[in-house]
């Protein structure tokens, strides 16, 4: 019974009510006030604890009386001015319609849900798969805030961080009156579980801190007595509320730390700091500025793709092709939602002397969102509709998170299309080795002034191509001669040399060819003689000019 507690019980210690109910053989039971508290396991009420009005002892109802109908009937008759019936304490991510076993892992944060009469009846009549929870009746506190206006009362709650050496008290008072039913239920009831700007810290009165310290000491000593020293708590966080009659009500406790507990030495240290109590994610952390115009904080619309609750203003319409283009990893059949499993057709496949059941409509071929929207959609129809423009541009409303994911995917697709076009039109890039050779060749041509000759050859080729009259074919020798005739100025050496006249002899000696007939050879000799004469005349004129320059 008194074995080492689990991690879940250290964060929210539900066994405290059971231990306070157990009577000690050596001492009288402690007189501690607690509101009606129901322990839920698998969404079913198992234990119902309450305080006897005559003796002040904690008692437990018989198992046959712990039913949802009795709880509804009793608690609905005791609703206060604020209209709140009860609140639920459970671990985050436990309250889920399609809750898988892996969600039993504890996150270390407690979620608080407040119920009015309508919400309380829906919760008790609903079929929520809740592994564990504490359902507690709401106690209206005393109004500790000085306010001159009538009919304005404010929620106050006290947190006591207890240890064997010191006890620290923190009190927070909600800024909005809980009697103003036009405001959201969380905005007028949140203290430690809501944002800091929902409430304000105030000073704890002396008599309140004294009474709370006495009650904590009674509980610690009682646990030590019934366990014979095995439940030795070293520190913990306790929550209390003071009513109109200045009575201190113990609500719940958590973040407990036991001495000589080897099992919890490796747990994160932040579990034992301040309590991790949060309001549901479906409530916006906004505060109304004007009491006459309160904000609507509840997110009542559910996204069909991710299942997240949001307000209606946070939904955006997107075309169907955003969902078609979005890559989604297929879910196994065990994790399909119930509505999809019911609509999916089953067929029996026989093979290898075995029979197995397979689903025709699989998530790997049809997106899960389309399975929810169009229940009768099969694989063949989906392949046909996916190609039609009318189906692609039908719209669906999704939350902002899903919208951002889809827009990011569309941007990636557009970027891929642009890069593919650039790759197809991109010219071939020369290698570095080829670029180096090209640079060295250009340097050599510039140093010898042969680049002009290459450009002239290119221009000559372009003129020959563009000319309409066809030019006769020339052999290599004729091409060389024509090149020398047209660009003789560029071939003259830069430095003055007396060896220039030998160029004609060299040319006449190298231009003999055995592959030409006699007629072509005779014509070529005449042109060669004319060329030699003109070349000699130019060279002589050049020598005369050089001498004149030297004399000057």
User: Would 289 be classed as within a structural domain?
Assistant: no
More confident residue, 285 or 392: 392
Phi, psi dihedral angles at 488 (to 5 degrees)? -70, -30
What's the CA gap between 260 and 240, in Å, rounded?
A: 28
Q: How confident is the model at residue 14 (pLDDT cuts 50, 70, 90)?
A: confident
More confident residue, 124 or 10: 124
Phi, psi dihedral angles at 89 (to 5 degrees)? -110, 120
Same domain for 389 and 333: yes
What's the CA gap between 194 and 283, in Å, rounded?
A: 10
User: Would 460 be classed as within a structural domain?
Assistant: no
Q: What is the pLDDT of residues 398-424, one digit of tens each?
A: 888 888 888 888 888 888 888 887 667
Q: What is the pLDDT of residues 58-72, one digit of tens each?
A: 999 999 999 999 999
pLDDT at 181 over 90: no
Six-digit token string for 235: 């520190």
Six-digit token string for 297: 């904080």
Per DSSP, the residues of 456-516 read HHHHHHHHHHH-SSPPPP--HHHHHHHHHHHTHHHHS-SS--TTTTHHHHHHHHH---SSS
Same domain for 188 and 74: yes
Same domain for 191 and 79: yes
* Predicted pLDDT of residue 292: 52
What's the CA gap between 503 and 491, in Å, rounded?
A: 11
Six-digit token string for 319: 């075309």
- Residue 310: beta bridge partners? 301
Element of type H or E holding 279:
none
Strands 301-302 and 277-278: unpaired
What is the number of domains present in the chain? 3
Give the residue from 486, 425, 413, 501 showing the smallest Cα distance to 456.
Answer: 486
Q: Give mean pLDDT, residues 25-53.
A: 89
Same domain for 255 and 147: yes
What's the CA gap between 484 and 535, in Å, rounded?
A: 11
Same domain for 405 and 321: yes
Same domain for 308 and 220: no
* Predicted pLDDT of residue 275: 47
* Predicted pLDDT of residue 192: 82
User: Would 441 be classed as within a structural domain?
Assistant: no
Per DSSP, the residues of 65-104 read G--HHHHHHHHGGG--TT-EEEEEEEETT---TT--GGGG
Q: What is the pLDDT of residues 149-175, one digit of tens each?
A: 555 678 888 999 998 888 999 998 888
For residues 532 and 504, the answer to whether their CB atoms sit within 8 Å is yes
Q: Give mean pLDDT, residues 501-517.
A: 41
What's the CA gap between 488 and 474, in Å, rounded?
A: 19
* Predicted pLDDT of residue 489: 45
Same domain for 249 and 325: no
- Residue 238: beta bridge partners? 160, 253
Q: What is the pLDDT of residues 204-224, one digit of tens each?
A: 888 889 999 999 999 998 888
CA 437, 439, 443: angle at the middle one, nearest 5? 115
> What is the value of pTM for the model shown?
0.55
Same domain for 351 and 265: no
Which positions ≥6 away from 355 have C-beta within 8 Å?
Answer: 348, 349
User: Would 372 be classed as within a structural domain?
Assistant: yes
pLDDT at 274 over 60: no
Six-digit token string for 102: 């892996």
User: Would 129 be classed as within a structural domain?
Assistant: yes
Report the 3 state secondary structure along 43-62: CEEEEEEEECCCCCCEEECC
* Predicted pLDDT of residue 456: 64
User: Would 52 be classed as within a structural domain?
Assistant: yes
Give the residue from 260, 138, 121, 240 showing the smallest Cα distance to 188.
Answer: 138
pLDDT at 23 over 90: no
For residues 139 and 249, the answer to whether their CB atoms sit within 8 Å is yes
Same domain for 232 and 94: yes
How many whole angstroms from its chain centre is CA 325? 19
How many whole angstroms from its chain centre is CA 483? 72
Instruction: Pick the last residue of a domain from 423, 458, 491.
Output: 423
User: Would 182 be classed as within a structural domain?
Assistant: yes
Same domain for 482 and 396: no
Lookup result for tokens 């539900």: 14
Dihedral of CA atoms 397, 403, 409, 411 in degrees, nearest 10, equals 110
Same domain for 364 and 227: no
Six-digit token string for 529: 């003689």
Give the residue from 334, 330, 305, 332 showing the smallest Cα distance to 320.
Answer: 305
Six-digit token string for 124: 């008790």
Q: Hey, how many other C-beta atoms are within 10 angstroms of the C-beta on 323? A: 21
* Predicted pLDDT of residue 35: 93
- Residue 136: beta bridge partners? 37, 87
* Predicted pLDDT of residue 504: 42
User: Domain range holding 24?
Assistant: 7-278
Give the residue from 134, 139, 159, 157 showing the smallest Cα distance to 37.
Answer: 134
What's the CA gap between 422 and 420, in Å, rounded?
A: 5
* Predicted pLDDT of residue 240: 94
What's the CA gap between 29 and 470, in Å, rounded?
A: 124
User: Would 432 be classed as within a structural domain?
Assistant: no
Element of type H or E holding 416:
helix 400-425
What's the CA gap between 103 and 157, in Å, rounded?
A: 30
Most confident by average pLDDT, 198-212, 441-455, 500-514? 198-212
Same domain for 216 and 322: no
């Amino acid at each position: 019974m008194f074995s080492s507690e689990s991690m879940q019980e250290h964060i929210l210690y539900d066994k405290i009510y059971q231990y306070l109910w157990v009577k000690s053989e050596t001492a009288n039971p402690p007189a501690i006030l607690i509101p009606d508290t129901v322990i839920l396991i698998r969404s079913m009420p198992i234990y119902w604890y309450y305080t006897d009005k005559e003796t002040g002892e904690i008692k437990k109802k018989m198992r046959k009386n712990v039913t949802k109908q009795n709880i509804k009937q009793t608690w609905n008759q005791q609703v206060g001015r604020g209209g709140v019936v009860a609140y639920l304490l459970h671990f985050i991510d436990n309250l889920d319609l399609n809750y898988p076993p892996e969600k039993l892992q504890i996150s270390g944060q407690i979620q608080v849900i407040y119920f009015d009469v309508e919400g309380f009846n829906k919760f008790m009549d609903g079929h929520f798969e809740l592994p564990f929870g504490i359902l507690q009746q709401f106690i209206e506190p005393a109004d500790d805030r000085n306010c001159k206006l009538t009919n304005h009362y404010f929620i106050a709650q006290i947190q006591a961080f207890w240890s064997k050496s010191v006890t620290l008290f923190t009190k927070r008072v909600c800024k909005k009156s809980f009697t103003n039913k036009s405001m959201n239920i969380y905005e007028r009831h949140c203290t430690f579980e809501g944002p800091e700007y929902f409430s304000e810290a105030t000073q704890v009165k002396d008599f309140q801190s004294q009474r709370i310290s006495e009650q904590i000491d009674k509980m610690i000593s009682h646990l030590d007595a019934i366990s014979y020293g095995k439940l030795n708590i070293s520190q913990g966080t306790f929550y209390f509320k003071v009513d109109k009659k200045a009575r201190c009500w113990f609500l719940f406790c958590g973040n407990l730390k036991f001495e000589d507990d080897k099992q919890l030495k490796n747990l994160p240290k932040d579990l034992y700091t301040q309590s991790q109590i949060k309001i549901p994610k479906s409530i916006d952390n906004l505060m109304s500025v004007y009491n006459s115009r309160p904000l609507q904080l509840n997110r009542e619309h559910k996204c069909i793709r991710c299942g997240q609750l949001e307000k209606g203003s946070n939904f955006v319409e997107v075309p169907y092709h955003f969902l078609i283009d979005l890559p989604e990893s297929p879910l196994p059949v065990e994790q399909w939602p119930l509505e999809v499993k019911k609509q999916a057709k089953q067929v029996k496949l026989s093979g290898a002397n075995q029979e197995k059941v397979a689903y025709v409509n699989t998530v790997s071929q049809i997106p899960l969102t389309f399975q929810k929207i169009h229940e009768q959609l099969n694989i063949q129809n989906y392949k046909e509709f996916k190609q039609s423009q009318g189906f692609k541009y039908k719209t669906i409303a999704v939350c902002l998170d899903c919208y951002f994911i889809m827009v990011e995917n569309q941007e990636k697709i557009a970027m891929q299309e642009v890069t593919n076009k650039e790759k197809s039109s991109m010219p071939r890039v020369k290698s570095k080795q080829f670029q180096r050779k090209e640079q060295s060749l250009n340097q050599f041509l510039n140093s010898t002034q042969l680049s002009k000759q290459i450009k002239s050859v290119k221009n000559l080729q372009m003129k020959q191509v563009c000319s309409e009259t066809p030019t006769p074919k020339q052999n290599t020798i004729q091409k060389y001669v024509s090149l020398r005739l047209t660009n003789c100025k560029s071939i003259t050496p830069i430095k003055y040399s007396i060896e220039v006249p030998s160029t004609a002899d060299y040319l006449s000696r190298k231009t003999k060819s055995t592959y030409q007939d006699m007629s072509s050879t005779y014509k070529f000799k005449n042109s060669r003689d004319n060329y030699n004469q003109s070349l000699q005349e130019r060279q002589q004129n050049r020598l005369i000019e050089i001498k004149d320059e030297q004399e000057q």
